[in-house]
Amino acid sequence: MFASDNSGARRANSRSAGFISATGALLLALFAFQASATPPSPPFGLEPKGVLRLQLGSSAPKRFLHEPSLLSQSILLSGKCGLSLGGPSSLATLTAAGGLGSMGLGPDSIGVFDGPKGVACYRITASLGESVTFGLGATVPGAQIDANAFYRLELDVEVKQNAAFLLEILIGGNVTEQFYMRSGASIVAGEGSTAPGSPDKIFNCTAQSDSGPDAGSRDNCRWIVDALGQQFRLIPLIGEGSLEGGGDFGTGTAAYDNNSLVYLTKGAIGALGCENTPVPQGTSTSTIGDGVNDAQCTITRIDPTGLGGSCTTLVGYVLRNIGVAEGCEMLKTPGEQLAASADILFPPEPRTALGSEPLTTIVFSNPLGSPVAFTPQRCTGTVVLDSNGERTILEVLSGGTVGTDVVAGGHKDWACILDNVQEYIGADQMQIRQTILFWGDIEIKRQ
């Protein structure tokens, strides 16, 4: 899904008794679930926000439908075979690229408009450089649905001419994960799986793949993907196909059961770049929490290029509060190396004598066994600035004697407290703000 070399993230203000941990098994569950008959709950304890159904066919209104709210958005024919989205709600956006650059609508198919009639109206064709991008509409973040992302896709895709498709997952307009579907002669022996969730992210569809105008449901693939995102893009690599919503399966229950589905959730999700040439995206997360009722946290990625590491790909993340644990955690794909600065302002707590406050604890994931606990001390070594002016410790990234790995195994695991501010706020209460430098595969949360 999200990938990275050595890279960084900055702040999360952490109160003295914070807890930073990483369990590979938990993180693996975030972006790489195993598909099942019953859709899994959203990852990381995120809240489910219902499902968007794409419903196409001749016997019922063409529309996007949200369940359980029953808000809907009509899909309308414009001219001979153009597609336009109506109301009453704005649940989705559809954007075409390639061909004539506009969306097309057939009797039960969505594609890119190429001509005045027939399949040219609604196919997505590799040879014409076409693609279709789906996004969430303006109503989805509103009070009735209150979602800003999806975590699972079940797409009804018609395939023609031994089609092979690329599915790009996007967050903030940036591609964070890629999946592949192959059919017919495009299937390569020994690659992919006929079941969802193949480790190489290749789904081999066993449906008939032909060049004819219609084969009913025999040339339809149900492509199931578990990934956090805000948009997805369907790109044919070989042949052509269409995005559908159950219309080839007849009417009633059969059509309903084969709708394309987008499972919704809500969270502080994003993708961190390094503001450099290979990864020009921004380095900071949004800020979560208020520092009163829960911890206020921000993470900023550090660019280790020239300091013993590199930054060549985006790192996708979920940042969340831990509720009663009064902390924060940043969750991402296991194994991604991330150099970061975490600023955390913890909620008020009973004052202590100087030097007597509880200490922050870090727990690093351990691929060979149980997680390894670590108590970070004040940073030592040489403070240097990365290319974006963010502070880091040179010796940790360059392999010096400072910052010996907490967990053996080839990835840097280390943390130290760069800033530590204790402020007495009255009523026998104090607040603690920390800047914690960390390297490795971790979560951040209060003990």
Question: In terms of domains, do 253 and 294 share one?
Answer: no
CA distance 106 to 85: 14
One domain, residues 310 and 221: no
Domain-terminating residue out of 233, 265, 297: 265
Judge if 234 and 308 occupy the same domain.
Answer: no
User: Per the domain annotation, does 36 fall within a domain?
Assistant: no
Residue 252: which H helix or E strand, with range?
A: helix 252-257
100 and 53 fall within a common domain: yes
**Does residue 370 share a domain with residue 317?**
yes
Residue pair 228/149 in contact by the 8 Å Cβ criterion? yes
In this predicted model, what pLDDT tens digit does every residue of 245-263 receive, in sequence order? 999 888 889 999 999 999 9
More reliable by pLDDT, 85 or 57: 85
User: Where is the domain boundary, 265, 290, 320?
Assistant: 265
Domain encompassing residue 319: 18-28+268-446
In the predicted structure, residue 14 carries a pLDDT above the cut 70? no
Does 6 reside within a domain?
A: no
Residues 330 and 205 in one domain: no
The pairing of strands 72-78 and 82-88 is: antiparallel
d(CA 210, CA 219): 7
Specify the amino acid at residue 277.
T
* % residues pLDDT > 70 (the chain): 85
Residue 39 lies in a domain: no
User: How are beta strands 231-244 and 149-171 bridged, if at all?
Assistant: antiparallel
| Domain presence at residue 326 | yes
Confidence of residue 214 (pLDDT cuts 50, 70, 90): low
Check whether residue 22 and residue 79 sit in a common domain. no
User: Which of 60-64, 117-121, 399-403 shows the highest mean pLDDT?
Assistant: 60-64
Model pLDDT, residue 178: 95
- The answer on 308 and 189 residing in a single domain is no
Indicate whether 71 and 167 sit together in one domain: yes
**Domain count of the chain?**
2
Distance CA(146)–CA(161), nearest Å, equals 40
Q: For the beta carbon of residue 67, count every other beta carbon within 10 angstroms.
A: 11
Is the pLDDT at 444 greater than 80? The verdict is no
Asked, for residue 330, whether it belongs to a domain, the answer is yes
The overall average pLDDT reported for the chain is: 85
What is the mean pLDDT of the segment spanning 295-310?
91
Q: Roughly how many angstroms between the first and final C-alpha of the chain, as a whole number?
A: 29
- Distances from the Cα of 235 to the Cα of 224, 238, 344, angstroms: 16, 9, 41
pLDDT (tens digit per residue) in 44-82: 788 999 999 999 987 779 999 999 999 999 999 998 889
In a domain, 42, yes or no: no
Q: Are residues 107 and 252 in the same domain?
A: yes
- Say if residue 68 is preceded by a cis peptide, omega within 30 of 0: yes
In a domain, 233, yes or no: yes
- Provide the CB-side half-sphere exposure for 141 (13 A, CA): 9
Q: Provide the pLDDT for residue 273.
A: 93
Query: Quick check: 102 pLDDT over 70?
Result: yes
Among 25-39, 208-222, 432-446, the minimum mean pLDDT is found in: 25-39
Q: Residue 47 has what DSSP assignment?
A: P
As a whole number of angstroms, the distance between CA 259 and CA 261 comes to 6
Asked, for residue 3, whether it belongs to a domain, the answer is no
Same domain, 254 and 337: no
pLDDT at residue number 66: 98
More confident residue, 101 or 445: 101
| 290 shares its domain with 207 | no
Give the end of a domain, one of 218, 235, 265. Answer: 265
